[in-house]
Chain A
Amino acid sequence: SQELEQSPQSLIVQEGKNLTINCTSSKTLYGLYWYKQKYGEGLIFLMMLQKGGEEKSHEKITAKLDEKKQQSSLHITASQPSHAGTYLCGADGGSGTYKYIFGTGTRLKVLA
């Protein structure tokens, strides 16, 4: 079965610093989705990547999918306290069921 491993597990950065979160899949990714979750709340969709080499940006967040479609990174530029939360990568298993599996999550804390 497919597994998604995220690194780091947790991250504490000073406001204004850049940071990168990685998501590595044990199998080829058919669709990779990045979500953000605040404690006790639902998931907020950030970005979706499908093609090898694809890169998308929204405000200060950039996500990339490597050419082999097995690794994705999420980069935040000039982090702010509002970026704090848990970032989860999710993958479509590709079996036609549209079921997602999720990565282990990265908890981000941004110090003001």
Chain B
Amino acid sequence: GAVVSQHPSRVICKSGTSVKIECRSLDFQATTMFWYRQFPKQSLMLMATSNEGSKATYEQGVEKDKFLINHASLTLSTLTVTSAHPEDSSFYICSARIPGTGNNQPQHFGDGTRLSIL
């Protein structure tokens, strides 16, 4: 079945560091991927839609320069948290949909990345 791989699963780093998270679709090409953020005991909040070959679409209130998204190939989207600070600590999850299926297929999710900024 369709699988989405996310890496790394856990990152602990110092304040001011930039962190890159990768999201790969393993057995299908994903023209669209989504990045979510989840705070403890809360639901998922959509941050942005990653579009292959074009700029990402950010949700209201999400800083484009803070959360850089690159979708350079049909199987890889990256989220870079630039100059991360403790308030950026969170659980980040990506998802991908199989193109051409409309809403007849669910989104497939990665296992998430827990980011801890000291």
Chain A contacts to B: CB under 8 angstroms: 30-31, 33, 35, 40-45, 48, 50, 88, 90, 92, 97-105, 107
In the complex, the answer to whether A102 meets B43 with C-beta atoms within 8 Å is yes
Contacts of B104 in A (CB 8 A): 50
- List residues of chain B with CB within 8 A of the CB of A33: 106-107
Q: Number of residues in B with C-beta < 8 Å to the partner?
A: 25
Residues in B neighbouring A100, C-beta threshold 8 A: 34, 46, 95, 107
Which residues of chain B are within 8 angstroms of A42 by Cβ–Cβ distance?
Answer: 4, 6, 93, 109-112
Residues of A within 8 A of B6 (CB): 42
* Contact between chains at A45 and B112 (CB < 8 Å): no
Residues of chain B within 8 A of A43, CB atoms compared: 44, 93, 95, 109
CB-nearest residue of chain B relative to A46?
A: B106
CA gap between A33 and B49 in the complex, in Å: 19
